[in-house]
Chains A and B, each alone.
Chain A
Amino acid sequence: MTACREPASVLIERLSSGETTSLELTDACLAEIAAHDGSVGAFLHVAGDAARQAAESIDRRRAAGEPLGRLAGLPVAVKDVLVTRDQPTTCGSRMLEGWIPPYDAHTVEKLRDADAVLIGKTNMDEFAMGSTTENSAFGPTRTPWRLDCVAGGSSGGSAAAVSAGFAPLAVGSDTGGSIRQPAAFCGVVGLKPTYGRVSRYGLVAYASSLDQVGPFARDVAGAAMLLEVLAGHDRRDGTSIDQPVPPYHQQLDQPLEGLRIGICSEHFGEGLDQEVREAVERALDVYRGLGAVVVEIELPHARFAVACYYLVAPSEASSNLARYDGIHYGRRADDYDGLVEMYSNSRGSAFGTEVKRRIMLGTYSLSAGYYDAYYLKAQKVRRLIQQDYTQAFLDVDVIASPVTPTPAVRLGQLTDDPLQMYLADTYTISANLAGLPGVSIPAGFSQDGRPIGLQLLADSFAEDRLLRVAAMHERETDWHLATPTLDGDTSS
């Protein structure tokens, strides 16, 4: 097993004890990427020399006895939706191909402050719109477990990078499930924080009222460590909440006494794959074995979540993506006659199909005559969905459900049917509409070897409790220890 497949907490121990160096670790990750990323497709940019230089510098500072950050020397992969001043940022789009931003995202600054080694930028559905990473303009990401299947999305590259052992930690973003769903498809831990927990400054906007940045790791401890680094107040994001960041990582071994887990019949209905259902039920049995009580809860408006999301998110997207005007940055079309045609041709030629589809949907639902019936109606339903959760969390600590109706789908399986693709987001999008934290943890495999995730949701700013509950399951199971062999990989 390569070094990069060890959990982050183990690697940090080895780095601080001198058992390994950041350069050794970084080289090991770069070697894995060189050997296998041709067939996985996790990275859009590999930092290579820059990463090695950063690693050497941290090793020198460690040798000199200087104080170091919490992730000192650890390679971390960053989704290509976060701006980085020394690495290209494309958002998986031809629109931003070759663009090098003039500043760092808040979360990227935090990673640099923590002395993480930024090893590269990961593949994603274009502008984070999609559930398979097939909407990347630069090719899909495959789950390292089954190279004929997708890694999920939109943070497919980050999930696959951790799963394949290209990096022990990765950062993603989640607007409707884009961290949790690929975490499930790739068999790793992925957490979406409470809205406002992590700054969105420098996160290229898709749907601003739903977007959150969060961690991927091989285990719960790794996710907790990375979240501690990413979280915190930032005055440059008006929705960032000024609340202290708890020491998530230190509390993990404390089980939640008298744990009450809610389950909702809406999450176990038609369309749920039998193997996924069994995995979730098995996980619930693990919790019961630890003394937890599993109770039925009501989320009366859960069935409206997909419809609500696919009005709110595209509406915000149509507004956010108006900034791509072919003037300030991004691509300008070669041929046009006048300003308006310059806008339209630049956008028409540089955006991919799904991005155009969502801009169209959002523009339509915001346009005169339809605003009340679509966008305003969706916002009202959004409040009802949030109220359902507020009510539910009066009774339970967490809500458990599948992450996805099925394990990873084959490449191309859903690309021709947008509505079916959207409906597959049914279990994850409510957390974004309500602003709640959620985590996907490894909970099994299908018979043909595709990972299955368990989703746990908690009340706002209860990430500490959420992580403790996740750790309870992890201590009793070994799903998170399994690693893909990349057997189907013929590139090396």
Chain B
Amino acid sequence: MSETHSEEPSHRQLTRDDVLKVARLARLTLDESEVEEFTGQLGQVLGYVGILDDADTEGVEPLAGASERTDVLREDEPGESLARDQALSGAPRHDDRFFLVPPVLDTSAE
């Protein structure tokens, strides 16, 4: 994927289907009023950020973080870690040994 493939998305109208698709990707159940609200509001924000098209970024390297430190290394030494009861202390459901989750293999999984 390269920049030349972008279809000027900043000028593209955000649709209700786009919002539903993104909500699925983000694992967010939205109610009807939120879908409607976000369709308008996110479209507005995406329209506004279109001004970035005016910035000449030819040959500019992306900047991911202000400090740009990379490869911060340290010795791999065992340290303290959370006790099991502490690690489980905030879990909505557990059996004192494990986090409990609904069945993973079900038909609603995508």
Question: Interface residues, chain A, CB within 8 Å of chain B?
Answer: 99-103, 195-196, 208-210, 235, 238-239, 241, 301, 303-304, 306-308, 310-311, 318, 322, 326-332, 336-345, 347-349, 351, 353, 356-357, 359-361, 363-364, 367-374, 376-384, 386, 418-419, 422, 432-436, 460
| Proximity bits, B60-94, A CB within 8 Å = 1, else 0 | 11111111010010100000001000110111110
Check if B34 sits within 8 Å of A353, measured CB to CB: yes
- Cα separation A33 to B83 with both chains bound (whole Å): 36
Check if A102 sits within 8 Å of B65, measured CB to CB: no
Check if B89 sits within 8 Å of A102, measured CB to CB: yes
Query: Ordered nearest first, which 5 A-B pairs have the shortest CB separation?
Result: A435-B66, A348-B29, A329-B90, A379-B62, A332-B92
- Cα separation A435 to B64 with both chains bound (whole Å): 11
Known: A318-B26, A347-B29, A418-B45. A209 touches B102 (CB 8 A): no
Check if A379 sits within 8 Å of B90, measured CB to CB: no
Known: A103-B82, A304-B52, A364-B46. A369 touches B26 (CB 8 A): no
Check if A377 sits within 8 Å of B57, measured CB to CB: yes
Check if A331 sits within 8 Å of B82, measured CB to CB: no
Check if B2 sits within 8 Å of A372, measured CB to CB: yes
Check if A340 sits within 8 Å of B110, measured CB to CB: yes
- Cα separation A311 to B51 with both chains bound (whole Å): 12
Check if A344 sits within 8 Å of B27, measured CB to CB: yes
Question: Interface residues, chain B, CB within 8 Å of chain A?
Answer: 1-3, 5-10, 18-19, 22-31, 34, 37-38, 41-42, 44-46, 48-55, 57, 60-67, 69, 72, 74, 82, 86-87, 89-93, 99, 101-104, 106-110
Can you show 29 pairs from A to B with CB atoms below 8 A apart? A195-B66, A195-B67, A196-B66, A235-B74, A306-B48, A327-B92, A337-B108, A338-B103, A339-B109, A347-B27, A349-B29, A351-B28, A357-B42, A364-B46, A367-B25, A368-B1, A372-B2, A372-B6, A376-B3, A376-B62, A377-B52, A378-B49, A381-B57, A384-B55, A419-B45, A419-B48, A422-B45, A434-B66, A435-B66
Known: A310-B49, A370-B6, A381-B52. A239 touches B69 (CB 8 A): yes
- Cα separation A213 to B46 with both chains bound (whole Å): 29
Known: A303-B51, A304-B52. A361 touches B42 (CB 8 A): yes
**Which of A195, A239, A339, A380 is B104 in contact with, Cβ under 8 Å?**
A339
Check if A340 sits within 8 Å of B109, measured CB to CB: yes
Check if A419 sits within 8 Å of B41, measured CB to CB: yes
- Cα separation A386 to B65 with both chains bound (whole Å): 10
- Cα separation A58 to B21 with both chains bound (whole Å): 56
Known: A241-B67, A307-B49, A370-B9. A363 touches B22 (CB 8 A): yes
- Cα separation A416 to B23 with both chains bound (whole Å): 21
A311-B49, A368-B1 known; 8 new pairs, CB 8 Å cut-off, are A102-B87, A210-B66, A304-B52, A339-B106, A343-B27, A360-B23, A384-B60, A435-B67
Check if B92 sits within 8 Å of A209, measured CB to CB: no
List, in ascending order, chain A residues with CB within 8 A of B25's CB.
Answer: 363, 367
Check if B72 sits within 8 Å of A374, measured CB to CB: no
List, in ascending order, chain B residues with CB within 8 A of A101's CB.
Answer: 90
Check if B108 sits within 8 Å of A383, measured CB to CB: no
- Cα separation A26 to B23 with both chains bound (whole Å): 46
List, in ascending order, chain B residues with CB within 8 A of A303's CB.
Answer: 51
Check if B102 sits within 8 Å of A338, measured CB to CB: yes
Check if A100 sits within 8 Å of B90, measured CB to CB: yes
List, in ascending order, chain B residues with CB within 8 A of A196's CB.
Answer: 66-67, 69
